[in-house]
Amino acid sequence: MANTTIYDVAGAAKVSLATVSRVMNNPEKVNPETRERVLRVIKELGYRPNAIARGLASRKSTTVGVVMADVSRASTSQLLGGIIDIAKKYDYAVKLFSMSEGEDIKETMRAVVAEQVDGILFLNDELDKEQMNMVMNYIKDAQIPVVLCNVIYEDDSVPSVSIDYEKATYEITKELLAAGKKNVYFVTTVRRYTINVHKGIGYRKAMTEAGLEPLIFRTSGDVTVNSLHFEEFLKNNKVDSIISVRDSIAVSFMNIAIRNGLSIPKDISVVGLQNTKYAILSRPTLTCVDTPVYDIGAVSMRLLTKYMQQQEVTESKVVLPYSIVKRESN
């Protein structure tokens, strides 16, 4: 039972291997009786076609490549959750490729292509414009469908799924301003992730419209590092509210503020832009823009199946809705 092949099935069902293959791929072209007989044998032997051989013969691997920067980031794993569920539903296998900082990006892309994936889900939002151009051109040359998954890239020809980060951040900034806040800081990462850049644009817009100077504070995603930053920050700046690109950074900020005798939200309002589990495990709980990360993953995967199967796509740039979850921090 170790390795049943199509020949074994053909032999046991007394048909040719071509017929077995047809039963699996074009059942309607096979006489119902023969079909049933073959199906029975397949079941009996627990036969599953060798995916590699099938891939070579059909020139389709029914595998998608997921290219990401870092799995351990919460958003990455949430995206993966959505991707895997939908991939399973459509019978695609999922191969993972990481592009760590400092590694050869082109080499990784070459590996992805060599693995013969039928489509690519690109989740790495840590590349700069030039690198993105290179990667996208490479994929285009290889003629592999691609969907950007929670990554912003200014080229309308590349399909993508995300939310309108600019608008969401604009909106929540307006809310803080409407509540009478003046010194609204935008706390973002030192690293320039594409989506965080867009959050920043929305924030600036709201501030500028209100006749205020944008106030931006950059810090590390590493909690041990940003704690020290925040002590400094609070000492040197007048601040009545902050908007943080990451929930964990917002929570870290709240902890420092409270330790320094400040009260949240009385002295400072705090909002996050993700709505992860950190937001409900903090004290006070964190008001957030809710980014539907799992859905972004799921929808990307679904969109990619359409491209891989040459189905018609009406909307190549999907913008999912978001909501704002009001909690205790503002």
Partner DNA sequence: CTGAAAGCGCTTACAG
Residues that bind its own copies (CB under 8 A): 1-3, 46, 48-53, 55-56, 61, 63, 70-74, 76-78, 80-81, 84-85, 88, 93-96, 98, 100, 110-111, 113-116, 141-143, 223-224, 248, 251-252, 255, 258-259, 277-278, 280-283, 294
Q: Name the minimum Å distance from CB 46 to DNA.
A: 12
Residue type, 230: F
Cβ atoms of 95 and 63 within 8 Å: the answer is yes
Cα 157 from Cα 307, distance rounded (Å): 13
Comparing CB distances to DNA, the nearer of 33 and 128 is: 33
Helix (H, G, I), strand (E, B) or coil at 217: strand
Strands 323-325 and 287-290 turn out to be antiparallel
Of 138 and 294, which CB lies nearer to DNA in the complex structure? 138
72, interface contact from its own copies, DNA, none, CB < 5-8 Å by kind: its own copies
CB of 34 to DNA, least distance (A): 3
* Structural tokens at position 294: 């799992």
If contact means CB under 5 to 8 A according to the sort of partner, which of its own copies, DNA, none does residue 34 touch? DNA
Interface residue with DNA, options 12, 21, 75, 244 (CB under 7 A): 21
Question: How far, in Å, CA of 229 to CA of 231, rounded?
Answer: 6
Q: Closest CB to DNA among 51 and 71?
A: 51
- Per partner kind, with CB cut-offs from 5 to 8 A, the member of DNA, its own copies, none near residue 5 is DNA
- Minimum distance from CB of 24 to DNA (Å)? 5
End-to-end, the C-alpha distance of the chain in Å comes to 62
Cα distances from 315 to residues 149, 160, 198, 303, 319, in angstroms, run 15, 9, 21, 9, 9
The least distance separating DNA from the CB of residue 7, rounded to whole angstroms, comes to 6
Residue among 15, 127, 257, 271 that touches DNA (CB under 7 A):
15
Helix (H, G, I), strand (E, B) or coil at 299: helix
31 binds DNA (CB under 7 A): yes
Question: Total residues at the site for DNA (CB under 7 A)?
Answer: 32
Q: Tokens 């957030």 appear where?
A: 288
Residue 64, phi then psi, degrees to nearest 5? -110, 145
CB atoms within 10 A of CB 95: 17
Residue 92 in tokens: 């695609």
Residue 269 β-bridge partners: 241
Q: Which of residues 33-52 bind DNA (CB under 7 A)?
A: 33-35, 49-50
Where does this chain bind DNA (CB under 7 A)?
A: 3-7, 14-22, 24-26, 28-31, 33-35, 49-50, 53-54, 56-59
